[in-house]
């Protein structure tokens, strides 16, 4: 039996710009992703933006983005998204410190 389209697991490479560093963006992303069962990572970029790779259903990914966007002081001016191949065997969602 084919998996329903809305339950299909996808992976997105996301790039956020705006007021996204120093405002709890990564902390909120980690909390929200782990709460909904999405996997991947988030990191601050040297240019002031934030990058994220997130894997889950469309609903899980949307829930994480909405949770971050509702954060105090977070102002997402631009969101760039690209679908990339899923990562096999990945567990959890975490903040990365590397660039």
- Which of 11, 12, 26, 28 is catalytic? The answer is 26
d(CA 95, CA 29): 8
Annotated catalytic residue: which of 7, 44, 78, 96? 44
Return d(Cα 83, Cα 99) in angstroms, integer: 20
Alpha carbons 95 and 42: distance in angstroms, whole number: 5
In three-state secondary structure terms, 75 is strand
**44 flagged as catalytic:** yes
Q: What residues are labeled active site?
A: 26, 44
């Amino acid at each position: 039996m084919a998996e329903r389209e809305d339950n299909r697991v996808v992976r997105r490479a996301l790039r956020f710009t705006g007021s996204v560093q120093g405002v709890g963006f990564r902390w909120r992303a980690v909390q929200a992703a782990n709460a909904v069962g999405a996997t991947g990572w988030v990191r601050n970029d040297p240019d002031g933006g934030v990058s994220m790779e997130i894997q889950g259903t469309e609903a899980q990914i949307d829930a994480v983005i909405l949770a971050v966007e509702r954060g105090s002081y977070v102002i997402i001016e631009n969101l760039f998204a690209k679908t990339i191949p899923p990562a096999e065997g990945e567990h959890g969602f975490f903040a990365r410190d590397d660039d």
